[in-house]
Structure 1
Amino acid sequence: MGFLYTPLPFWVAVGGWIATAIVVALALWKNPFKRLQDGTLQHVWLAIIVAVSVLWASNAWLDDGTVMHLLGATLVVTLFDWALALIAMAVVVGLAAVVFDAPWQGIALTFLVFGALPVGISTLVQRASIAWLPRNLFMFILGQGFVSPAIAVSLTAAAALGIHIVLADGSMLVVPAGYAFSVLLLATGEAWFTGMSTALIAVYRPAWVTTYDVRRYRLGGPRI
């Protein structure tokens, strides 16, 4: 899962932990838990952490190197914004490390690549969709639910592969056969999972979407 079992140079492992500490501190500095004042939203946030942890447990190893699995980060960003999403993904990585008894060296890098990076990409794509796409429910579901996760997964997979190549001193032998096709399948699955979840939540539980103006998309729920 991620880089949990990948042999890493000491400086990469330590640098990853320093970067992770900075990212998590930035998220906490934004005081994201104010979005969880409602008890129902607290339960939703915790439930999503559990659900994403299960998604991460269902992974595929390619040639004992790169690993692929659904990320779930975009859905958390859509519901709770980037700061709470970062903390949620940090918890997911921590749970994965405990369950899989992973060494400490690869935990931080796994969070940065498979947690923080897709959260950042999803946030940027969603900000762009807010600015440029028409303001209606269909475009909200299309942009946040389908397009954003597909882009996030594709770029994350590319970044993960790039890091594996760098760790192998630039050798392309670490690129698994059919990697591009596998990424396409993964991005499609992530888009459908996130898109359908976003559609159901936006229609039946709009109060769970805490990130968008009710006047923009006609969704209910608190706006902080």
Structure 2
Amino acid sequence: MDHIQLTNIQIFAALLALVISFVIGKKLTFSRLISDKKIQHLVFGSAASLFVLWMFRAGIYDGLSVHFLWLSALPLVLGFRWAVFSASLALIGVTLAGQEHINMLGVNFLLGVLAPIGLTYGIYSFTFHKLPRHTFIYIFLCAFIPGALAIGLKMLSLSGYYYLDDIYSWYTVKDNYLILTTLMLFPEAMFNGMTITLLIIYRPEWVYTFYDKLYLDEQ
């Protein structure tokens, strides 16, 4: 992975990431970000928290490192678009800091940012419209379970990428990265579940997707 030249998959991922970022960015109200101190603190504070969290990682092979994501709590706090924006800032930060390769930026955005956030927000939307609006359902099905699924999705998809792009052999990926997936599921789920639990208790106004009248008043 010392080469700088982009592979075909990396080029395609970079172009797709640019298109998706443009579409999402067009629907963001950056004027509100400038004028609203609360949004500023939440968006940039989350990006800074993610940056610090993602700097701490473990792994033997270059690129095959594991770390907590915190990308299931993020869209519940910020909403889908601002969550993608905030996580993208953190991804750019860790890339510039040397923890990720610049040629992996598109792949990491699609598989490490967009996919986990999209999965979580999709689950939240389903539970909001199809299931009873109960605090336990919100914490367990919108934060805890998606936390495990999100990191599992990222690690599975990245494992497939490293193998398909012929960066590592399947045995190397499986024995040094994919095998760690099961060890990360429960801690990631707990991390996201506890984050949302504490926030809706002490700072419910910070959680964009939590509505007191729906989740508390009607119980």
TM-score, scaled relative to structure 1: 0.85
The CA deviation string for residues 25-65 of structure 1, in whole angstroms up to 9 with x for no partner, is 12112225477564223212211111111111111224445
The Cα of 1:101 is off from its aligned counterpart by 7.2
Q: Is the 8 A contact 1:58 1:69 kept in 2?
A: yes
Matching residue's letter, 1:25: F
Distance 1:101 1:124 in 2: 29
2:2 is equivalent to residue 18 of structure 1: no
Distance 1:12 1:100 in 2: 21
Matching residue's letter, 1:109: V
Matching residue's letter, 1:121: L
The CA deviation string for residues 181-210 of structure 1, in whole angstroms up to 9 with x for no partner, is 521221211111111110010111010011
Show the counterpart of 2:139. 141
1:46 to 29, 41, 44: 44
Question: Cα gap change, 1:100/1:76 in structure 2, threshold over 3 Å: closer, same or farther?
Answer: same
Give secondary structure in 2 for the equivalent of 1:135.
coil
Unpaired segments of 5 or more residues in structure 2?
none
Alignment of 1:151-166 (within 5 A): 151-166=149-164
Unpaired segments of 5 or more residues in structure 1?
220-224
Alignment of 1:46-125 (within 5 A): 46-100=44-98, 103-125=101-123
Q: Is the 8 A contact 1:55 1:70 kept in 2?
A: yes
Question: Cα gap change, 1:129/1:82 in structure 2, threshold over 3 Å: closer, same or farther?
Answer: same
The Cα of 1:118 is off from its aligned counterpart by 0.7
Q: Is the 8 A contact 2:80 2:117 kept in 1?
A: yes
Matching residue's letter, 1:189: P
Distance 1:181 1:11 in 2: 27
The Cα of 1:79 is off from its aligned counterpart by 0.7
Question: Cα gap change, 1:45/1:77 in structure 2, threshold over 3 Å: closer, same or farther?
Answer: same
User: How many residue pairs get matched?
Assistant: 216
The Cα of 1:69 is off from its aligned counterpart by 1.0
Give secondary structure in 2 for the equivalent of 1:168.
coil
Q: Is the 8 A contact 1:157 1:183 kept in 2?
A: yes
Give secondary structure in 2 for the equivalent of 1:73.
coil
Question: Cα gap change, 1:124/1:178 in structure 2, threshold over 3 Å: closer, same or farther?
Answer: same
Q: Is the 8 A contact 1:137 1:217 kept in 2?
A: yes
Show the counterpart of 2:175. 177
Question: Cα gap change, 1:6/1:194 in structure 2, threshold over 3 Å: closer, same or farther?
Answer: farther
Show the counterpart of 1:190. 188
